[in-house]
Amino acid sequence: MKILGRKWIAAVALVAVATACDDNGFEVIEELTFDPSLSIDLAAMQRLDSGVYIQDLVVGTGDVVVLGSQVTVTYTGWLANGTQFDAGTFPFTAGVGQVIDGFDIGVLGMQVGGTRRIVIPPELAYGSQERASIPAGSVLVFDITVDESVSP
């Protein structure tokens, strides 16, 4: 049995990475292997028409987030490889473009006190733009808790 050379192994690794990307170089959610620390099970999540995946981890009991709600959330964001890129608490108006599209889509319908995991395709995140520690074309994973929501 012949031992494989480094160039061949590198080529196989490159093909494996390339198959998780589309023609634009964007990661494809359904073709990714998520880091086990994220506990992503796409089969247990709901895929919205937009391509965003959602899963309620805790269903809230307060006001529902609707288009135009003044919302305050606590969140943590990761890349598919398990690297945390951000966390914090901030207010925004839901559905009016103050956050990335996938985040807006993912919080609609949540209730105050609820926590939801969302998986966002690159075209609804930063697309081909690189942002600080987020490479261009990245799928993003968020856990979001709605702390407050005031309907319009």
Length of the chain as a residue count: 152
The full set of domains in the chain, from first to last, is 34-150 (3.10.50.40)
Decide: helix, strand or coil at residue 56: strand
Quick: pLDDT tens for 6-46.
Answer: 433 333 333 334 346 767 779 999 999 999 999 999 999 99
In the chain, which stretches have pLDDT less than 50? 1-19
**What pLDDT score was predicted for residue 22?**
63
What is the Cα–Cα distance from 72 to 55, expressed in whole angstroms? 19
